[in-house]
A and B are shown apart, each in its own frame.
Chain A
Amino acid sequence: MTPGDGADRGPGAAVRRLPPRPGRRAARGRGASSWAAPGRRGRAGAAPQPSRLLQRTMLALLLTPPACLVLFALAVVFWGPHRSAAFFIPLVTALVLSTVLGWPLAARLRRQLTALARQRDAFYEELLRLSKAASLGEVASSIAHDLNNPLAIMREEAGWIQDLMKGGDLQGAYTQVEITNALQQIDIQIERSREITQRLLQWGRDSAPQTQSVDVNLLLNKTLYLLESELQTAGVHVVKELAPGLAPVRGGAPELRQVFLNLMKNALDAMKDRGGTMTLVTRADPDGVRIEIKDTGEGVPAAALEHIFEPFYTTKPASEGTGLGLPISRWIVEKLGGRVEVESREGAGASFQVTLPTQQASDVDTAARRPDGVVGAADRSLGG
């Protein structure tokens, strides 16, 4: 399926859909760090790399005008009045000069483009590191909040037992029942606290190993678990339509969790003041595995839709959004050879779709594209 193909959705005729835009657009607005880089692919298996095409085009553009000028001058000066063999001398000179001057220029351009791509990657690596730290902070804060509720209950139960003991009538039926209930409640709250701390432990476990393949359904469930209480507080109902038996996708769990967390938090923020439904859908796709995160929030305004993947662009208040979640997410997904698409209608929610190549599919694909068996550095920079 092509990125712009919307045949699989029925009522979405009026829906505005945004396919991935590798580099070019962002370069216009946001500076060098968003330039297309060698090895960047909009989707898995797309053979020519945009930056190489760009380099060749620039080289051709660079050489064509002087060559044309020289040929034109030759035609005027020599061919008409003299019909002389001297015609060939400037032609050869021009060709030699173009080659001698043009190639180093092209090489320099290529070096600059590569350097820019490296800078872009370093920029996003740093953003990813920061956003992971910020997420950990948010998770820790949410856990502290959740933990304080059972703690408050335990304190009151213990206090109630003390109150009853101070009352003196310890053998009375009422006191006995109350003390038993309070002790049971303390036990229930301890179990609840243990479940909450498990979340933090889980976070640590998933952050440590750089796994090479990820079970998308499992990771979505784990990410959802982190946001459980926030979703509940916001009155957001979660619907899961997860296809069983999906092949593992290629990538690191910490990076992909960041993608899912960003998309789910966006969905949550869109429904914070009004509640709603967040739908998580996974299914097999010709390009690997497709993950859809849908909300019934306010939707993305048409004017904002074109900019949401640009760094620092945000429609949230300054204290809530940095405008980095979506660019980072798209960078991670594209690094893994996947793509992110969005469709939204103002007032009718938004849907973000992530397509990720599976472990096997991407390996087969890479081998087919490079018959020599050599795997490009960019193809392996995150996944393997």
Chain B
Amino acid sequence: MTRPIRLLIVDDEKRLVETLSKRLTARGLYVEGVHSGAEALALMQAKPFDVALLDVRMPVMDGITLLREAKKLQPLLQVIMLSGNASINAAVEGMRLGALEYLLKPANLEDVLAKIEEAFKKKRLEEERLAAQRAPGE
């Protein structure tokens, strides 16, 4: 039995978060949307997520800083960066810090969904690998 993917969307564009959440919820995902890095970190302390969709350019705390902090809270979290500009530097920095993918706005929902599913699979594999390491005798 597969549980729904727990997705966190962080973007300062409130309407984008709202509509994207509705569309992805309609596709069977469990979605939480917030509009700043601080809100995201607070929520992550309370709830585990499988995948996070982070906007790169946000006021106060940008997506790259949030990625770094989020990985500290939930090391297995798979992160997809979402940005309005094709900044190679931000993409490279994101990947270096462990982001799985880098998508450009406006992204096609089917592409976003495919990346989310791919990220979820990767997370499941890592969880299984960790579980096997913890219990080598079984």
Interface set of A (CB-CB < 8 Å, partner B): 141, 144-149, 151-157, 159-160, 163, 182, 185, 232-235, 275, 319
What would 14 A/B residue contacts be, using CB atoms closer than 8 Å?
A148-B85, A148-B106, A149-B84, A154-B106, A156-B20, A156-B23, A156-B109, A159-B109, A182-B19, A185-B15, A185-B19, A233-B62, A234-B59, A235-B60
Q: Provide the bound-state CA to CA distance between A185 and B14, in Å.
A: 12
- CB within 8 Å for A235 and B16 given contacts A149-B84, A152-B106, A163-B23: no
Min C-beta distance of B46 to chain A, whole Å:
26
Q: Does B114 contact A (CB under 8 A)?
A: no
- CB within 8 Å for A152 and B105 given contacts A233-B58, A235-B59: yes
A sample of 10 more A-B contacts (CB under 8 A), given A155-B108, A233-B62, is A144-B84, A145-B85, A148-B84, A148-B106, A151-B105, A152-B13, A156-B106, A163-B26, A233-B57, A235-B59
Min C-beta distance of B111 to chain A, whole Å:
11
Min C-beta distance of B81 to chain A, whole Å:
14
Q: Does B104 contact A (CB under 8 A)?
A: yes
- CB within 8 Å for A275 and B60 given contacts A152-B106, A153-B13, A156-B109: yes
Q: Provide the bound-state CA to CA distance between A145 and B62, in Å.
A: 15
Min C-beta distance of A186 to chain B, whole Å:
10
Please give me the 3 A-B residue pairs with the lowest Cβ-Cβ distance, nearest first. A148-B84, A152-B106, A145-B85
Residues of B within 8 A of A185 (CB): 15, 19
Interface set of B (CB-CB < 8 Å, partner A): 13, 15-16, 19-20, 22-23, 26, 57-60, 62, 83-85, 89, 104-109
- Docked-complex contact B85 and A149, CB < 8 angstroms: no
Q: Provide the bound-state CA to CA distance between A340 and B31, in Å.
A: 54
A-B contact count, CB below 8 Å? 63
Closest to A234 in B: B59
Q: Provide the bound-state CA to CA distance between A360 and B57, in Å.
A: 46
Q: Which of A155, A163, A319 makes the CB contact (< 8 A) with B106? A: A155
Residues of A within 8 A of B85 (CB): 141, 144-145, 148
Q: Which of B19, B57, B58, B106 makes the CB contact (< 8 A) with A160? A: B19
Q: Provide the bound-state CA to CA distance between A172 and B84, in Å.
A: 35
Q: Provide the bound-state CA to CA distance between A48 and B58, in Å.
A: 53
Min C-beta distance of B109 to chain A, whole Å:
5
- CB within 8 Å for A156 and B59 given contacts A145-B85, A148-B84, A148-B105: no
Q: Provide the bound-state CA to CA distance between A152 and B19, in Å.
A: 10
Residues of A within 8 A of B104 (CB): 148
Q: Which of B23, B89, B105 makes the CB contact (< 8 A) with A159? A: B23
- Docked-complex contact A146 and B84, CB < 8 angstroms: yes
Q: Provide the bound-state CA to CA distance between A141 and B19, in Å.
A: 26
Residues of B within 8 A of A234 (CB): 59
- Docked-complex contact B60 and A151, CB < 8 angstroms: no
Closest to A151 in B: B106
Q: Which of B16, B26, B58, B83 makes the CB contact (< 8 A) with A156? A: B16
Residues of B within 8 A of A151 (CB): 105-106
Residues of A within 8 A of B107 (CB): 152, 155
- Docked-complex contact B57 and A152, CB < 8 angstroms: no
Min C-beta distance of B6 to chain A, whole Å:
20
Residues of B within 8 A of A153 (CB): 13, 15-16, 19
Closest to B82 in A: A152
Most buried by A among B19, B23, B59: B19
Closest to B85 in A: A145
Q: Provide the bound-state CA to CA distance between A160 and B15, in Å.
A: 12
Most buried by A among B58, B59, B62, B89: B59
Residues of B within 8 A of A149 (CB): 13, 16, 84, 105
Residues of B within 8 A of A145 (CB): 57, 83-85
Residues of A within 8 A of B59 (CB): 232-235
Min C-beta distance of B71 to chain A, whole Å:
20
Closest to B27 in A: A163
